[in-house]
Amino acid sequence: MKVIPLSRPDITAFDKRKVLQNLNSLRLSRGPLVDEFEARVADFVGRRYAVAVNSGTSALHLIVKALGLKKGDEVITTPFSFIASTNCLYYEGIKPVFVDIRPDTLNIDPDKIVKALSPRTKAILAVDIFGHPADWDALTSIARQYGLRLIEDSCEAFGSVYKGRKAGSFGDAAAFAFYPNKQMTTAEGGVVVTDLKAVADRGRCLRNQGHRKEGQRTVYREIGYSYRLSDIHCALGLSQLEQISRFMARRARVAAMYQNALSSLTEFELPYIAPEVTVSWFVYAPRLKKKYRRSQRDKLLLELSKNGIECNVYFEPIHMQPFYKKWLKTGRGDFPVTESAADRILALPFHNRLSADEVKRIARQLKKSIIQLKHNPRG
Active site amino acids = 182
Cα-only R_g, the chain:
21
Q: What is the 3-state secondary structure (H, E, C) of the chain?
A: CCCECCCCCCCCHHHHHHHHHHHHHCCCCCCHHHHHHHHHHHHHHCCCEEEEECCHHHHHHHHHHHCCCCCCCEEEECCCCCCHHHHHHHCCCCEEEECCECCCCCCECHHHCHHHCCCCEEEEEEECHHHCCCCHHHHHHHHHHHCCEEEEECCCCCCCEECCEECCCCCCEEEEECCCCCCCCCCCCEEEEECCHHHHHHHHHHHECCEEEECCEEEECCCCCECCCCHHHHHHHHHHHHCHHHHHHHHHHHHHHHHHHHCCCCCEECCCCCCCEECCCCCECCEECCCCCHHHHHHHHHHHHHCCECCECCCCCHHHCHHHHHHHCCCCCCCHHHHHHHHHECEECCCCCCCHHHHHHHHHHHHHHHHHHHHCCCC
CA distance 350 to 131: 13
